[in-house]
Amino acid sequence: MTHPAQPKASHFINGEYVEDTAGTPIPVIYAATGEQIATVYAATPAIVEQALSTAKEAQKAWAKMTGTERGRILRRAADIMRERNHELSVLETYDTGKPLQETLVADATSGADALEYFGGLAASLTGEHIPMGEDWVYTVREALGLCVGIGAWNYPTQIACWKGAPALACGNSMVFKPSETTPLCALKVAEILIEAGAPAGIYNVVQGMGEVGSALVTDPRVDKVSLTGSVPTGKKVYAAAAEGMKHVTMELGGKSPLIIFDDADIDNAVGGAINGNFYSSGQVCSNGTRVFVQKGIKEKFLARLAERTGNAVIGDPMDEATSFGPMVSENQMNIVLGYIEKGKEEGARLVCGGKRADKDGFFVEPTVFADVTDDMTIAREEIFGPVMSVLDFDTEEEVIARANDTEFGLSAGVFTNDFSRAHRVIGQLEAGSCFINSYNDAPVEAPFGGVKASGVGRENSKEAIKHFSQVKSVYVRMGDVEAAF
């Protein structure tokens, strides 16, 4: 019998499902059990061509619609996503293994927020009038054209919407390639947009591995590439986009610092560290995986952290009581277990967790290491799993220097009850998305993105509009033209 997660076909192009079984089969594995629940096929060159030519053509009429008309469609799509939240959340759980307790509140809902927010902004995207004496300049905010979105596997619905909603609001079309690990959810986003009244061809989904991503990025018809992925992939995609002078947004990895001063509310700080390390089983790019704790509260913090981590309910993601699910794939589980072994070998002190959970599926226990030093592998490399490194510090000056001593710069957090210190420290941290007495909140109203190797550009908020549009400036002369000859 066909599993309910099996999509009608692998791709969604020009308003309908399209199949081409000549492509490489991609098995979809449910991470909680290891069973194969669906198969999709990587896009063949013919499918890539169909998607790009359709999107290129459809964009012209879409850009000519008024912002109000475009916005109305996006807002309708948001409503449909909210009405179907349960069904979409179950699919997200099949796609990723994340517990339903999370997917019900963080995935289709977050996608709907993006569609609603950018739908609301679409009608207000205007240029300006610049007086020049008798003459004047006016500016027009124009679409870029055809945008390619490429997703990671941790938030497949959210990423499909965070890229699609601002792109479409500005009058662009999109070809979106989900991660090959989680190919299911973006297809639903495409389906819902059509149901909401979007013209066929403005939002298309094609499946495939890096090779398909690369074919999309290098196509001369593509004007912009927005990638969510790792730093090594980001470097390749950025370079390929530069070759064609394309616009880019790069949402890449991190190894973010979470700094806890000794005057912080311990329970809130522990809560922040748990949210910033164990939500989605640690598979979140902005996680605060280097938790710097001031020496005076170290043992108290670790004791409370171990106690609360022991309350994680690890198990069947479809049970709403479950608060901690598996890694997305066997491969990711093995990567994470490898880092845990490195942590032990290099002398970090294991406080809790530290092994695969005794279950079917790809579960790794929420793991805390203490006495971690800056040079240890677990403190330097992005693990993308539930492994928290706790490091000690003495002074503010010292912790700022150590926090910034990384190639990454996605996020940073500070817990303290001294507000002047909170702002002073945040002001010196090299990171794009920061938190004070909180961690990992990502509302659509706030810009999201990194500095240094963590990325280029911003998603969400009005900032995203700048990255999906360009400004045309028009000088208008009222009098005669003076010329030298």
- Residue 294 in the binding site for ligand NAD (CB under 6 A): no
Q: How far is the CB of 334 from ligand NAD (least distance, A)?
A: 13
C-beta pairs of 315-318 under 8 Å, 24+ apart in sequence: 315/359, 316/32, 317/32, 317/93, 317/97, 317/98, 317/99, 317/100, 318/32, 318/90, 318/93, 318/100
Decide: 181 and 27 in contact? Cβ < 8 Å: no
Q: How far is the CB of 328 from ligand NAD (least distance, A)?
A: 9
Residues numbered 430 to 469 that lie near ligand NAD (CB under 6 A) are 455
Q: How far is the CB of 409 from ligand NAD (least distance, A)?
A: 11
| CB atoms closer than 10 angstroms to residue 299 | 11
Residues numbered 403 to 422 that lie near ligand NAD (CB under 6 A) are 410
Closest CB to ligand NAD among residues 196, 434? 434
x/- letters, 187..226, toward ligand NAD (CB under 6 A): ----------------------xx--xx--x---------
Work out which of 14, 101, 204, 233 binds ligand NAD, going by CB under 6 A. Answer: 233
Q: How many residues does the chain have?
A: 485
Which window, 128-136, 246-254, 361-369, 461-469, contacts ligand NAD (CB under 6 A)?
A: 246-254
Provide DSSP, 341-389.
HHHHHTTPEEEE--SB-SSSSS-B--EEEES--TTSHHHHS---SSEEE
Number of residues near ligand NAD (by CB under 6 A): 28
* Cα 22 to Cα 45: distance, rounded to the nearest angstrom: 10
User: Which residue, among 193, 152, 148, 201, has the nearest Cα to 175 in the 3D structure?
Assistant: 148
Residues numbered 131 to 190 that lie near ligand NAD (CB under 6 A) are 150-154, 177, 179-180
Task: Name the 3-class secondary structure at 251.
Answer: strand
Q: How far is the CB of 49 from ligand NAD (least distance, A)?
A: 17
Closest CB to ligand NAD among residues 172, 181? 181
CA 404 to chain centroid, in Å, comes to: 22
Active site residues: 251
Cβ-closest residue to ligand NAD? 213
CA 414 to chain centroid, in Å, comes to: 22
* Cα 181 to Cα 137: distance, rounded to the nearest angstrom: 49
β-strands 146-150, 224-228 pairing: parallel
Decide: 426 and 384 in contact? Cβ < 8 Å: no
x/- letters, 248..267, toward ligand NAD (CB under 6 A): ---xxxx-------------
**Contact residues: ligand NAD, CB under 6 A:** 150-154, 177, 179-180, 209-210, 213-214, 217, 228-230, 233, 236-237, 251-254, 285, 382, 384, 410, 455
